[in-house]
Every structure is written in C-alpha cells, then in structure tokens.
Structure 1
C-alpha cells in the first residue's frame, strides 16, 4: 500500500462535493458579530473552528 492509497476514498468523496460547488474549507462568513458568533447566509452560527478561540483577532 502506497502512502496516499489510504486517502484515495476520502479524496474521491471530497471531489464529489467540489464538483457540485460545495466546499467545507471555503465557507464564507458573511458577518462577524463577536469573537465567537457570526452569520453564514441567513443562519447565526458559533465560530468554533476559526482558530480565534481566544478572541484575539476580533476588534469591534
């Protein structure tokens, strides 16, 4: 088994999403309310995966 063989299935699944215009890695945050809250589309969301868990990059 080659180094990348175990990831071939995962890469194929990712291509299915990107072929349809969907990408979980390029989600646009439309508005940031605070260091932990924002809006994506019409939905208010918790910003837990933005590497801003300490709130150091938010200046309002």
Structure 2
C-alpha cells in the first residue's frame, strides 16, 4: 500500500495508509469533490497501480 501512496504522491494526489499493518489505503476527499476531481484521482490511481505492478 505504501508504494501506491508514494506513486500517487508523485502524481500530486495525497492519500495515506491505515490498518494494523498499514496495508490499506485511506482516501478522504473533501466535501467539495467534483466529478473532475474524481476523474483526476482515478487516473492517478491507475498510473500508480501500473507503476507498482511493474
């Protein structure tokens, strides 16, 4: 999970890990989240997962 967090941080998206083993992603968008923000987040997540998967 930390590799995904770091890859998304490199892409300008701030998320964090959570859980006893820090193996889950914690996503807390602000209440003013709009469709374009969701699109940006999903694109960054896709790039991060591709990067981490190798």
- Structure possessing the higher radius of gyration over alpha carbons: 1
Structure with greater strand share of residues: 1
Q: Which structure carries more relative contact order (alpha carbon 8 Å, separation 6+)?
A: 2
